[in-house]
Each structure stands twice: as C-alpha cells, then as structure tokens.
Amino acid sequence: MNVVSLFSGVGGLDKGFLDADYEIIWANDFDKFAVQTYEANYDNPIVLGDINTIPLEEIPDCDVLIGGFPCQPFSMMGQQKGFEDARGTLFFRIAEILSDKIRKKKKPKAVILENVRSLKTHDKGNTYKEIHRILHKELGYRVFCDILNSADFGVPQTRNRTYIVCFDDPAVEYTFPKKVELNSTLQDLLEQDVDDKYFLSERILPTILSDGTGGYKARSEIDLKVARPLCATMAKMHRACQDNYVTQKGRVRRLTPRECARLQGFDDSFVIPVSDCQAYKQFGNAVTVDVAKAVAESVKETLKELGAWVEK
C-alpha cells in the first residue's frame, strides 16, 4: 500500500507503517533538522517545505495518508488556541489535500492522524467535533477515534495520544489494537557509559528537584519505572515534575538523546546526526514507533477484510 506522510518529523509514524509492510512514497516536513534526521534513516524521499505552499499537484496519489499534524494549538503545554492558531489550520490543509484527491477520484482508502490527548476535550469538545464533521460529512470517511498510551504497547513511557483512523467505506467496522503487557522499565533502556555533560551540577540540582514555586507546585520524582512524556523542550531542563531524571553512579542526570530515541521505540541503528538540542526536540515531538506499528497492523487487517489491501 502506497503511503503519503505529512508532518513526518523524524518518521516515528512512518517507521511503524514501514514495519507493517506499507511503502512510503512521499513525505514532508518543514523543519530542516528533522528532514536531516529523516534522510539519514530512510530510503524514501522527503520534501523539505511548508505543506501550505507545496502545490497540491505535487503531492502524489496514495492508498493511505498519514500525519501527526502539529499539536501545539491543542496541547496542555501550550495556550490551547486551537484553530485560532495558524498551526491549528494545518488540519484544514489535510482536508484540502483529501478534497483534491476526491475530485480527481483518487481518494485514499484510509487516513490515520495523530495528535495530543487533549484534542478531544479542547474547547469543550468543539474542536474535535469540527474535525470529525469535516472528515465524515464533507470528505465521506467513516471515522474512529481513541486515545492510546505508549506504555500499553511495550514502551516504558506514559504518552497518551489521540489517534483518528478513517476509512473510505461507510459500513466498515474497525477496532483499535489491543494493549500488550509492559515488560521493560526506563532503567532497562539506560546507557551505561554516559558523558559527564548529562549529569546535573550540585548548583542546579536543588532547582531541578524542587516541587515548584508560587502558584505552580507538583511532586518532583526521579528514577521512575515508566518515564514521563518526552517533550520538545527537554533541552531547557525543566523540573523533575515535568522532565525525566535518573540516578547513576550516585549522581543525578538527564536522559541522553539515545535514551529518548529508545523511549520512542527507535532501535540503536537509528542515526542521530543533529545536535543534542535538536535531538531532544525531535524525539519529544515524535510518534512512538511501537504504537504506530500496532495501529498500522490493525488498519492493514481491516483493509484486508474489505478486500482493499494491495501488496507492495
């Protein structure tokens, strides 16, 4: 099955679909450093550029369209402006791409979108209702939605994300993938020979381990068995109530980029060609590969039941 990937980042969603025997024929991201990492790890082409400025005719026809569209407008970490934020309108670009394919009678058989957990509750649920309405009423897809946690798919990271799965069949029945037992901990993924730069100084340690100040207080814990959600701003080193810190050789340190990659399901063959700062951003924004693969496999089974699956 040919796949077009939008907002590809470093390819967490793409990797899951590749591992499930799909073929990525076209990918896109506007971040040059993310594209650098993507090109270092995948053979399929990726286009660097703003999806809003790429002509629709340059986006190839596909069987499946996937995309983890920008989450900041809906995230609890941001101001939750939703469609008022220019980035929030990127969903409408997805709809525009799909509308163009429909007009040309090249409608993708399935669409898989990923976003933050709070997408469903943003603006008292009105944001998701509008997304559902466009996908279902305007574009003719049967829409399924659920929140999936990376820790339920074999990865020791609490990362709840909204998955929207759509099929071009009004009678289709679809079930999201089943949870699997978590058999590893954050400690199992740690590197053992770590550069001294990742260890916290005695000066900053009290601030990092504090429970906050003023109106913001939260319990700071380290050495968690299941990691907190990785975030795109990890390079700033937030307090331990937000970021992940571990004790090693009697000292407290932050996670390394490689450990962050592991917590997103990327194996150690995954090349990290960028700075630590960019790597933290990329893995904080990434889709967990194991979840992506589970969704891709479940979509494949449904497409097979519909007689719509096409082998590579």
Is 260 a known active-site residue? no
Cβ atoms of 239 and 220 closer than 8 Å: yes
CA dihedral (18, 153, 28, 112) positive or negative: positive
Distance between CA atoms of residues 11 and 289, nearest Å:
8
Distance CA 203, CA 222 (A): 17
CB 220 within 8 A of CB 240: yes
Q: 62, 71, 166, 231: which is the annotated catalytic residue?
A: 71
CA dihedral 34, 35, 37, 43 (to 10 degrees): 150
- Closest of 286, 300, 299, 290 to residue 11, by C-alpha: 286
Distances (CA, A) of 62 to 18, 35, 100, 168: 15, 21, 12, 13
Q: Please, which residues bridge with residue 209 across strands? A: none
Positions marked catalytic = 71
